[in-house]
Amino acid sequence: MSGKVPGRSNLLGLNRSELEAFVATLGAKPYRARQLLKWIYRRGESDFARMTDLAKDFRAQLADVAEVSVPEIVSARTSADGTRKWLLRMPGAAGNEQVIETIFIPEPGRGTLCISSQIGCALDCSFCATGQQGFNRNLTSAEIIGQVWLANRELGREPDGERVITNVVLMGMGEPLANYKNVLPAMQLMLDDLAYDLSRRRVTLSTSGLVPQIYRLAEDSNVALAVSLHAPNDKLRDELVPINRKHPIAELLAASWHYLERQNGRSVTFEYTMLDGINDQPGHARELAVLLRGHDAKVNLIPFNTFPGTRYRRSPAATIDRFRDLLAQGGVMATVRRTRGDDIDAACGQLRGQVLDRTLVRLGSKMVRLAVRA
Ligand code: SAH
Ligand code: SF4
């Protein structure tokens, strides 16, 4: 966090009840917390002195004990297709410096922000650049919501005053359900009408399948759920998504249907990265259709995004289209995700921050990359 002063509480990332509890420690009424929410998130203000409807004494008191500390931007790039990518500096677990990535994808009528939840990822999916990087640490809730805060500041408003970020997806670096405790308050702030006020259908959590946490989420939140399936049977999924050995497909699907029912959701999206010759054959499509038909499920086919050192290749476009058609014939709706921002390495699964790629250091039993800026 830039400007993080030791001993001061960072108010960024506290959800409404946590902020109410905080202002209570200063002897202030709960409505002060509501005012703070509006200032920090709706108006993007980080300086208490400028929060003019707070009493002067209260502002001074806040400035003594608290701060709104946001991550620091290392670099910003814009792709030919308008996709934007920010690299944010983060202190790493071993005291070294790391970077994470936040991506903004503009489309007609909507703007999607793709945020990270961890530095690296421990789950080691074989086709994912983040997984290959290893795990460094969880992001704090301030660092998670701080990505939305910063992107909002950088993007401003549309000329007509409309907001630019209409959707947030937790599909950047990391497995959000492995960082449940920090992801939940950040998502609550995305939905809170005094903070970002996004509708529950416009916030999507993507998971590779941490089954117990999906049940927990069903009690705590109602955001849209995306599940990274990538294979129609356990034999293949064990290979691609190793967490499947712990939580096989049948359990994962049961948890997904439970979530949908408990939260009265519209559908679960199943992500399926198309790997040439691996999971893209007609037989796989038919097997997948049998698994999903009759449920409120949508399949999102993601053309594999390559990265240095990977053994996989992207399925040809014709193979992906045929796979989609076979799913449709099998009664399952599928769409093909258009790849965006790949000229700036901002596409799915390419998120590992090129600046990280210079030096490897040992952290416990793992090799992690030390951020050395180019
Ligand atoms: N950890 C979470 C969210 C982050 S990954 C998850 O796995 O769901 C977001 C999506 O990108 C996931 O569906 C993931 O499987 C997919 N993905 C990972 N690497 C990819 C690659 N190289 N090409 C295309 N998609 C990839
Ligand atoms: Fe982690 Fe998701 Fe990548 Fe798997 S696909 S290694 S869970 S970030």
Domains observed in the chain: 9-67 (1.10.150.530), 72-373 (3.20.20.70)
> Residue 155 Cα, ligand 1 centroid: separation in angstroms?
25
Instruction: Tell me, using a 6 A CB cutoff, whether residue 125 lines ligand 2.
Output: yes
Instruction: Tell me, using a 6 A CB cutoff, whether residue 344 lines ligand 2.
Output: no
Catalogue the active-site residues: 101, 348
Atom 17, ligand 1: which residue's CA is nearest? 349
Tokens 């449940």 map to which residue? 180
Instruction: Tell me, using a 6 A CB cutoff, whether residue 271 lines ligand 2.
Output: no
Instruction: Tell me, using a 6 A CB cutoff, whether residue 273 lines ligand 1.
Output: yes
> Residue 130 Cα, ligand 2 centroid: separation in angstroms?
6
pLDDT tens for the 374 residues of the chain, in order: 555 666 899 999 999 999 999 999 999 999 999 999 999 999 999 999 999 999 999 999 999 999 999 999 999 999 888 899 999 998 888 778 889 999 999 999 899 999 999 999 999 999 999 888 889 999 999 999 999 999 999 998 777 778 899 999 999 999 999 999 999 999 999 999 999 999 999 999 999 999 999 999 999 999 999 999 999 999 999 999 999 999 999 999 999 999 999 998 889 999 999 999 999 999 999 999 999 999 999 999 999 999 889 999 999 999 999 999 999 999 999 999 877 666 666 665 555 543 333 333 333 333 333 333 22
Instruction: Tell me, using a 6 A CB cutoff, whether residue 83 lines ligand 2.
Output: no
> Residue 204 Cα, ligand 1 centroid: separation in angstroms?
13
> Residue 101 Cα, ligand 2 centroid: separation in angstroms?
14
Among 113, 116, 123, 128, the mutation site with the greatest number of ligand 1 atoms within 8 A of its Cβ is 128
Instruction: Tell me, using a 6 A CB cutoff, whether residue 302 lines ligand 1.
Output: yes
Of all ligands present, the nearest one to the C-alpha of 309 is: 1
pTM given for the model: 0.91
> Residue 228 Cα, ligand 1 centroid: separation in angstroms?
7
Q: Which atom of ligand 2 is nearest to the CA of 206?
A: 2
Q: Which atom of ligand 2 is nearest to the CA of 132?
A: 6
Instruction: Tell me, using a 6 A CB cutoff, whether residue 208 lines ligand 1.
Output: yes
Instruction: Tell me, using a 6 A CB cutoff, whether residue 128 lines ligand 2.
Output: yes
Among 123, 177, 273, 348, the mutation site with the greatest number of ligand 2 atoms within 8 A of its Cβ is 123
What is the pLDDT, as a whole number, of residue 132? 86
